[in-house]
Amino acid sequence: MKSSQLLFYSFVVLLLSALTASAELASAKVIATTGTVTKYNSSGQTRIAPGAILKEGDSLTTGPLGSAKLIFSNGSELTVKANSSFEITELQQEAFNSSNSYEQLQADPSRSQTLLELNYGELEGHVKKLRSDSKFHIQTPLGTAGIRGTRWSATLIYNAVRGEFTLTVTNFDGLVDIMSRYAGGVTFTSDKTATKSVNPTISEVVTEQLPQDHTISLTIAKGDPGFDQLINLIQNIPPNTPTPVITPTSPSGTVDNDSDELVIIVTSPEGPRNQPLQQPQEQPDQQLKTENR
Tens-place pLDDT, residues 243-287: 444 443 434 444 344 433 334 444 333 333 333 434 334 444 433
**Does 112 map to a domain?**
yes
CB of 282 within 8 A of CB of 262? no
**Does 221 map to a domain?**
yes
Predicted local confidence at residue 112, as pLDDT: 80
**Does 262 map to a domain?**
no
277 vs 6, 95, 246, CA distance in Å?
61, 43, 6
Nearest-angstrom CA–CA distance, 25 and 39: 19
Average pLDDT (10-20) is 36
CB of 154 within 8 A of CB of 120? no
Nearest C-alpha neighbor of 32 from the set 71, 86, 64, 68: 68
Average pLDDT (39-48) is 93
pLDDT in tens, 119-159: 999 999 998 777 678 889 999 999 999 998 889 999 999 88
Predicted local confidence at residue 149, as pLDDT: 80
Nearest-angstrom CA–CA distance, 196 and 194: 7
The full DSSP string for 170-211 is EEEEEEEEEEE--SS-----TTSEEEEE--TT-SSPEEEEE-
Nearest-angstrom CA–CA distance, 264 and 159: 6
**Does 23 map to a domain?**
yes
Domain that holds residue 166: 2-233
**Does 257 map to a domain?**
no
Residue 5, judged by CB atoms within 10 A of its CB (0-12, 13-18, 19+), counts as exposed
**Does 289 map to a domain?**
no
| Number of domains composing the chain | 1
**Does 169 map to a domain?**
yes
CATH code of 119's domain: 2.60.120.1440
pTM of the model: 0.71
**Does 73 map to a domain?**
yes
Split at pLDDT 50, 70, 90, the class of 26 is confident
Nearest C-alpha neighbor of 268 from the set 19, 55, 59, 65: 65
Q: Is the dihedral of CA 236, 242, 246, 247 positive or negative?
A: positive
